[in-house]
Amino acid sequence: MEHGSGGSEVLTQVLVFLGATCVLIPALKKARISAVMGFLIIGVAMGPHVLGRLAADLPWLAAFEFEQSEPTLLLAELGIVFLLFVIGLEVSLERLWSLRRYVFGLGLLQVVLCTAAITVAAMAFGNSFTVAAVVGLAFALSSTALVLQLLRERSQIATPVGRASFSILLMQDLMVVPILFLVAALSPGANAFGDQVGVALMTSLLSLGAIIVIGRLLLRPLFRWVAAADSREIFIAAAFLAAIGMAGAAQMAGLSAALGAFLAGLLLAETEFRHQIETDLEPFKDLLLGLFFVTVGMQIDISLLLSEPLLILIGVAGLFAVKGFIITVLARGFGLSWRRAGQMGLLLGQAGEFAFVVIGAARAGGAIPADTAAYMLIVTALSIFFTPIVAGLGARLAYRIAGAPAAPPPDAASESGHVVIAGFGRVGQTLADILSAQEISYVGIEGDATAVAKLHNEGLPVHYGDASSANVLASVGAPNAAAIVVTINDAEAVERIVAGARKAWPHIPVYARARDGEHARRLHAAGAALASPDSIEAALQLGEALLSGVGVPDDVSRRIIDERREAEVAKAIYRGA
């Protein structure tokens, strides 16, 4: 009976979340409020501190209240896991290695200096060293989930600000275990820990290396095996297994689960499956991440804010000021312009989701009193809540200083002038050879995992994926392509791809392989710039060989066939009009 009651409670919470998402998020977006901010507002309004208290007088409102149940928090944590997994898919090992100076230089200095500065500031307000040190350790780290989501929304992951911010966040995740050791050591009655922090950091790095090696050996063979089954459901299940499995392995090794998921994405970014995985997981990631931001909003106790508004707002403003100043100066020292460094300082000025873990551990160990913990929790939640506003102001100020909007990021999806080949069988490979001979770049999409593995091993730019998905085409740069060519030997699939591509990118010409004349006419009606029927082309090639064989000069037979080809194409276009 209890199990059924618990299941009913979870179902109710899911329905409330989905209902709020469908009704309120579109309304907030019309008011030009970002999705992140929208989910935070929903968490505040429908959480225990607003709607929960109103429900005490109006019991019917309890049905619409969000509760901090264990299943809800678990689903919210999965949102962070999937976000880091998708981010990893967008970052190659080569690009990560190129960031080592930022990760181990800028990132480590940021954690150390911010911890020291916040500790000193907390002591200046009369706190003991133990309490102040916990505050410094908790607030030194920023919100990985929020910052990366804001960077993705603004297409800034590959910009200098995005790369440097990402490097800092990566080092912060590596510092999770040493910080927990320090918090435990600050608790009353804790034994001297000597070199435990250094041992913990070394253990973290060794675990990290082991996870990378094992993942590299297992992930590509797993996805090749699964993709060969030609089942999208099983493919999505494999993506879930990779993300959650690596997250669990990292957590068992004492690392951040989000870091493990990022490593899984990083390893798969080197494979031919990355674009299809990213497309399949995007909806799950966005929805679960929205739930995470709702749970953050639920932490904001309006009554506590109203009881001591000045002290709490000073804490939030001081946190942004201290961290923003340190990060800005450090970023400038590492070569970023003052404009970008300032933008980065405001973007990373908040406390992070890890602060909730540190505060809980410190309170449980007796390192900080309950009222201090409550104060830190609301400062953390409010700093996350205000970040979209602060970061937006920082971005606008940066663009105003620069005098022009920033250039688009140089990632794969923004590459231009290439040709997207949907279907990389015999016809697609022939077209690729023709393009290569003319030094025209191309990217191929193919649904046969075995063929993709072979082509990928040959060094060809071919990725596994469903070409009928506009998101998959977009992930290989279709919006900026010179042309899209559809060579799939499936008449209905070709029509779907042509119609979808023309609807999504009407400025991009689409060339398609047709089965026969009637199919070519339907493709022209769907928007194809040219549809070449297999049967007609085969007849023309046979005709050219026949004319030459019966004594017609080669140049004459070639001219006759070219004229007939032009006539057939014109006829198909005319009939399709």
The dihedral through the CA atoms of 471, 476, 479, 485 has a sign that is negative
Most confident of 202-211, 312-321, 414-423: 312-321
Mean pLDDT estimate for the chain: 78
Between 71 and 125, the higher pLDDT residue:
125
Nearest to 327 by CA among 31, 499, 118: 118
* pLDDT at residue number 409: 40
Its pTM stands at 0.61
H helices, E strands: number in the chain: 27, 6
* pLDDT at residue number 1: 36
Calculate helix-pair angle for 176-186, 129-140, nearest 10 degrees.
Answer: 170
* pLDDT at residue number 213: 81
Q: What percent of the chain has pLDDT over 90?
A: 7
* pLDDT tens-digit map of 104-120: 899 999 999 999 999 99
* pLDDT tens-digit map of 401-456: 554 444 434 444 445 678 888 888 877 887 787 777 777 788 888 888 778 888 87
* pLDDT at residue number 201: 60
> Does 2 score more than 50 pLDDT?
no
* pLDDT at residue number 317: 92
* pLDDT at residue number 406: 41
Nearest to 105 by CA among 328, 333, 319: 333
- 405: Cα separation from own chain's centroid: 23
* pLDDT at residue number 576: 45
Rounded Cα distance, 301 and 202, in Å: 39
Most confident of 120-124, 279-283, 301-305: 120-124
- Sheet containing 419-422, strands listed edge to edge, beginning at the edge strand earlier in sequence: 462-464, 442-446, 419-422, 483-486, 510-514, 530-533
Return all residues near 464 (Cβ < 8 A) that are at least 6 apart. Answer: 223, 227, 272, 273, 275, 276, 446, 447, 449, 452
Q: If one looks up domain 412-576 in CATH, what number appears? A: 3.40.50.720
Q: What percent of the chain has pLDDT over 70?
A: 81
Task: Flag the least confident range among 147-156, 160-169, 214-223, 494-503.
Answer: 147-156
Give residue 203's pLDDT band: very low, low, confident or very high (50, 70, 90). Answer: low
CB 576 within 8 A of CB 521: yes
CB 516 within 8 A of CB 535: yes
Task: Flag the least confident range among 179-188, 329-338, 386-395.
Answer: 179-188
> Does 535 score more than 60 pLDDT?
no
Domain ranges of the chain: 2-64, 70-402, 412-576
* pLDDT at residue number 114: 95
CB 227 within 8 A of CB 221: no
> Does 302 score more than 90 pLDDT?
no
CATH architecture for residues 70-402: Up-down Bundle (1.20)
Between 300 and 340, the higher pLDDT residue:
340
